[in-house]
Structure 1
Amino acid sequence: MSTLMHPAGPEPEAVYWRRRIGVLVALLTVIIVIGKLVFSGADPTPIASSSAVPQLGEPSIAASIAANEPTSNPSNDSSDVQSLEPAVQATLQAGECSDNDVSVLVVADRESTNVGQGIHIEFTVKNTSGTGCTRDVGSGANEVYIMTGTTKVWSSDYCNPSTAKNPLRLASGQKWSVSIVWDGKVVGKQCAVGKKAQSGKYRVYGRNGELISRGTTFTIK
């Protein structure tokens, strides 16, 4: 015991104490290094858990991606477009005739007549297009009128105004006709019947919608 507390030897006691302290420091350093090596082999605590950084393979992420991706059959896919084509074609085939698709023709039954005598007029609408179409041939769309110079002396609308419609399907080249009689008298608006039409040259016209025929000339003697 006295040897531990009071080292004996040829050198001073302080030298032995410094040696002992140096050995203790070296031993402590070795112990600390060994401890670090032992504990460094354990699994470190992760900075962030796996749940905080989800993997692409997780069901929730996969479901989210699937929900936002376009489906293989969008609402405007080719099958839907194909199903609409027949309806569009049917609409075009059964569409209304434009003014370029039809012609209007009026023909008087004679080239001349006497004062006070009437004439028969044939009014015709013809589909001149290459396909069938529908045209309104009702009395509301049609008019036959007679002019002398710039004066209208008679109109089928003056005494028989109408708004009646008659949409008619006309095949390519098909005609629709109606006969009208003019009694040879001048008639004004509101069916104001006047005197007999006087001698001279007259022209008869036909109108269907906005389409007007060429005039047909006849003479009153």
Structure 2
Amino acid sequence: MDSLLHPVGSQPPGVYWARRGAVVLAVVLVVAALAFVFRPQPEPVVTAQPASASVTPTATTPSAEPTDSASPSASPTPTGPLACDASNTDLALAGYQKVAQDGKQSFKVSITNRGDATCVLTLKQSTFSLTVVSGSDRIWTTDDCEKWVPTASEKLKAGAAYEFTIAWPVARSSTGCKTSTSVLGEGTYVANATFAEDAKARQVFVVTKAG
């Protein structure tokens, strides 16, 4: 027993104590390993899971295709009378059959509403023109002077006519309301009237020698 507490040998006592400690540590590690391997295994604990409610997919009614509730806009209905134009009027032109070189031709113009409803007549240089020609030679025209066309704006009932007169001095015209003093030659001339671009009328007459 005394040899255990006081090791005997040629080596210093510390060496023997280190050896003994290493042996003891080895024994402790082996015992601990065996205890860990052969320890009782705990029974596995099974936790009951709540029964999941069956999920029935809900059928979603597909939404109807978007519809445009607004119907295509219809053409606006005029709230007042239509304009008098080539589609609802007749244009007539009359004048002397013969006129002397030093005379004056009076053209009588008539615009008649041939439609079933009242129309609004707008008369001015931009809606009406009167031109006198001799063959391909343009002699005179209201396009050269705004004041040669009477102005008017009034309602024409169905079947009603608007009449006015335009005087031609038997002379040539030029821009700026100018007329020539030269005498026109004798011969056949044609007057062409136009209203609202498409309504047309003409008058053929003869210019005779001055009396």
TM-score interval w.r.t. the shorter chain?
Answer: 0.5 to 0.7
Offset at 1:164? Answer: 9.9
Offset at 1:169? Answer: 2.8
Contact kept? 2:92, 2:111, Cα under 8 Å = yes
1:53-89 CA distance string (max 9 Å, x none)? 78x9xxxx9xxx9xx789xxx666xxxx9xx99x95x
Contact kept? 1:205, 1:212, Cα under 8 Å = no
Offset at 1:117? Answer: 0.7
1:18-59 CA distance string (max 9 Å, x none)? xxxxxxxxxxxxxxxxxxxxxxxxxx8551589xx78x9xxx
Bigger proportion of residues as helix: 1
1:94 is matched with: 81
Give the distance between the partners of 1:129 and 1:186, measured in 2 at CA.
Answer: 37
1:131 is matched with: 117
Does 1:47 pair with 2:61?
Answer: no
Structure 1 runs of 4+ aligned residues shifted over 3 Å read 161-168, 189-192
Question: SS of the counterpart of 1:177?
Answer: strand
For normalisation by structure 2, the TM-score amounts to 0.57
2:19 is matched with: none
Give the distance between the partners of 1:173 and 1:100, measured in 2 at CA.
Answer: 14
Give the distance between the partners of 2:53 and 2:199, measured in 1 at CA.
Answer: 89
1:117-128 correspondence runs (5 A): 117-128=103-114
Aligned residues: 158
1:176 is matched with: 162
2:203 is matched with: 216
Show structure 2 runs of 5+ residues with no match. 1-49
2:143 is matched with: 157
Offset at 1:141? Answer: 1.2
Contact kept? 1:93, 1:132, Cα under 8 Å = no
Offset at 1:210? Answer: 0.8
Amino acid at match of 1:47: A
Q: Greater Rg, structure 1 or structure 2?
A: 2
Show structure 1 runs of 5+ residues with no match. 1-43
1:114 is matched with: 100
Give the distance between the partners of 1:218 and 1:160, measured in 2 at CA.
Answer: 25
Offset at 1:112? Answer: 0.9
Offset at 1:160? Answer: 2.7
Amino acid at match of 1:113: V
2:41 is matched with: none
Contact kept? 1:185, 1:193, Cα under 8 Å = yes
Q: For the aligned residues, what is the CA RMSD? A: 3.9
Offset at 1:134? Answer: 3.0
1:160-196 CA distance string (max 9 Å, x none)? 3799985543222121122111111121334442212
Question: SS of the counterpart of 2:201?
Answer: coil
Q: Which among 148, 156, 170 is matched to residue 134 of structure 2? A: 148
Contact kept? 1:123, 1:144, Cα under 8 Å = no
Contact kept? 2:149, 2:166, Cα under 8 Å = no
Give the direction of change, closer, same or farther, for the CA distance of 1:198–1:164 in structure 2 (3 Å limit).
closer
Offset at 1:197? Answer: 2.0
Question: SS of the counterpart of 1:202?
Answer: strand
Give the distance between the partners of 1:165 and 1:154, measured in 2 at CA.
Answer: 19
Question: SS of the counterpart of 1:196?
Answer: coil
Offset at 1:118? Answer: 0.5
